[in-house]
Amino acid sequence: MQAVSYESYGDRNVMHLVEVETPTPRHGELLVKVHATSINPVDGKVRRGELKLIAGGHWPKRPGLDFCGTVAELGPRVASLSVGDRVYGAAKSMSDGAMAEYAVVNASAIAKAPAKLDDVTVASVPVVAIAALQTLRDNAKVKKGDRVLVNGCTGGVGIFALQLAKRMGAHVTGVCSTEGVALARGLGADEIIDYRKQSIFDRGECYHSILELSGRLTFEDAHALLDAHGIYVDFSPGPASLIANTIANPFRSHQHVFAMTAAETAELESLATMLNEGELQPPPVKAFPLEQFRSAFELAEHGGTVGKVAVRIP
């Protein structure tokens, strides 16, 4: 089968489209014929060597955390799905991804795909929607009436964070570029800050929680925006920052917490229902064919992209 793979850390040029053996599912796994996969920021972080402690040192590595596809083969002890089912979910790891014709995945991290969405759109959902849901619920502990700032509200996670925070009853302020303002407004943001025209510090407002998705707002700068016991959620932690802030949190009022999420079947099923019923809107997607995967990564890693970038698998 064809797969995008790399055997050293580096820029986009270390990745190549190669022929590899089709994998075989083991206990609790299944083989999926991949229709589409999407690019997440973590794909670039792993490839550049920024997450060596988490991603491990084995080679080769393959990008593509989330996917839409069809079940091709069931491993032992998998009874919840059938061959031919259209599914979506998350790949096994950050280095054993789905940017390939076939991928072995854990049955516990997939569900039947939203029937009303096309393959490319479905592939843009799992990782970012799960991250938004689990972060708002478990890290930010958002409740009705909370004021929430989503800094980067028109990227993959931000689009779902904005919508899900509104469903939880929060007052949501979204920060985005001029190109994303109309989308943020359509998704229900109570207030929108166009960072090209206004600083988020100009309003003098404080928030219960800040979801930092832009990579620009540090925890130190965020103090001025948090209320007395505010929570800053970091989606790009380095190992040193993770350790240092976990130790420091009990001794300060403002909490610096980290988005550490994992796909689960029950939550993917719930998200699929909301997407099918129109209660959640998926992100806009720019799709590339597999042979143009480097162009897809170039766009995704350029920064400021509204929505997500996906790769179609033939």
Q: What is the pLDDT of residues 114-164, one digit of tens each?
A: 999 999 999 999 999 999 999 999 999 999 999 999 999 999 999 999 999
- Is 202 a residue whose pLDDT tops 80? yes
Quick one: 99 and 116 in the same domain? yes
- Evaluate whether residue 254 is within a structural domain: yes
What is residue 34's predicted lDDT score, i.e. its pLDDT? 98
Q: 108-112, 173-177, 214-218, 276-280: lowest mean pLDDT where?
A: 214-218
**One-letter-per-residue 3-state SS of 18-57:** EECCCCCCCCCEEEEEEEEEEECHHHHHHHCCCCHHHHCC
Residue 294: exposed, middle, or buried by beta-carbon count in 10 A (0-12, 13-18, 19+)? middle
Share of the chain above pLDDT 70, in %: 95
Q: For 2-9, what is the mean pLDDT? A: 97
Quick one: 235 and 215 in the same domain? yes
Question: How far apart (Å, rounded) are the C-alpha atoms in residues 307 and 185?
Answer: 14
Question: Which residue range forms the structural domain that includes residue 65?
Answer: 2-125+282-312
For tokens 């989503």, the residue is: 150
What is residue 261's predicted lDDT score, i.e. its pLDDT? 87
Quick one: 138 and 45 in the same domain? no
- Evaluate whether residue 121 is within a structural domain: yes
Task: Please report which confidence band the pLDDT of residue 243 belongs to, taking 50, 70 and 90 as the band edges.
Answer: low
Quick one: 187 and 307 in the same domain? no
At 198 the three-state DSSP class reads: coil
Quick one: 161 and 59 in the same domain? no
pTM of the model: 0.93
Quick one: 106 and 214 in the same domain? no
At 155 the three-state DSSP class reads: strand
- Evaluate whether residue 240 is within a structural domain: yes
Domain count, the chain: 2
Question: How far apart (Å, rounded) are the C-alpha atoms in residues 23 and 6?
Answer: 17
